[in-house]
Amino acid sequence: MALWFSETASPGHHLEWKVNRLLFSGQSQFQTVEVLDTQAFGPSLVLDGIMQTTTGDEYIYHEMLAWVPLSAHPHPHRVLIIGGGDGGLAREVLSSPCVQEVTLVEIDSLVVEVSRQFLPTHASAFADPRLHLIIADGFEYLARTDLEPFDLILIDSTDPEGTGPGGILYTAEFHQKVFQALADDGLYVQQTGTPIYNPEVLAETSRSVAQIFPICRVFWCVVPTYPGGFFTFTSGSKRYDLQQFSPQAVNHARWYTPAIHRGAFALPPVVAQLVPPAIQEAQTFFGS
């Protein structure tokens, strides 16, 4: 009898993955942690019943969340990642020769443990000497007063819905802390989910960020694993516009290119209407 994992995208829509083997199932103090060997995308991480990242298509999300900011910042030497305990984003960020150090703040040590054991393509980053892994709540970490300013802060957390620890990372108070933790020309990017199913995450986050940062932008990519595929990121920047960037030769990339970077800021009207007018105006292309 075939085993299937089912995720509820919305009350009337489920996503299902055929499972060859259940590799791990456990409960941390924060969430239920499972690793499934799926037929379609290989070893995949599930938290509280939500598919987080798969071996088969993780490169899309991680290349975009890493290389759009890395290409737009002239000297991305110090990077903070909050969440991302699977290691995939850190691996992608560390593939840039400009990056001198990555601090990864993950609240759940069980996620790191199972990723090291079952998600080797994600977890290769943990062997990089430039990586500093800290097990802590990202919100509390930014309350520390001894932090050196960061050039980039990337939020790779679980979604704000539900009972998990990700919700606090979508508050204006947290965005204010991010602003304070960034260098004078720093910028931050946060995953803001699939607006086709959860438009309020993008709408509320972009509104909050636009009130705190002088430059706020929204970009997107297609991640087959996530409901509806269409997936967004919201950015706040103190000086640089992510649409202005120096093309990087990311030779290993299977999704990111300078043309994809440029096109990722073209928002369909059904999505643009969710974000503040200033973002819509700044991201309206006429014939370019």
Cite the annotated binding site for S-methyl-5'-thioadenosine by residue number. 31, 106, 137-138, 165
Q: How far is CA 94 from CA 35, 78, 86, 108, 128, in A?
A: 25, 11, 14, 21, 8
Q: How many residues form the binding site for ligand SAM (CB under 6 A)?
A: 27
Cβ 47 to ligand SAM, closest distance in Å?
6
Query: Does 59 interact with ligand SAM (rule: CB under 6 A)?
Result: no
Binding track, positions 21-50, relative to ligand SAM; x by CB under 6 A: ---------x--------------x-x---
Binding track, positions 177-216, relative to ligand SAM; x by CB under 6 A: --------------x-------------------------
Q: Which residues contact 241 (CB under 8 A, 6 or more apart)?
A: 72, 215, 217, 282
Active site residue 156: yes
Percentages (nearest 5) of helix, strand, coil residues in the chain = 30, 30, 40
Could you say which of 34, 63, 106, 151 contacts ligand SAM (CB under 6 A)?
Answer: 106
The CB density around residue 74, as the number of other CB atoms within 10 Å, is 12
Residue 124 CA to residue 109 CA, distance in Å, equals: 16
φ/ψ of 32, rounded to 5, equals -80, 130
Which residues contact ligand SAM by CB under 6 A?
30, 45, 47, 52-53, 61, 82-86, 105-108, 111, 137-139, 156-158, 165-166, 168-169, 191
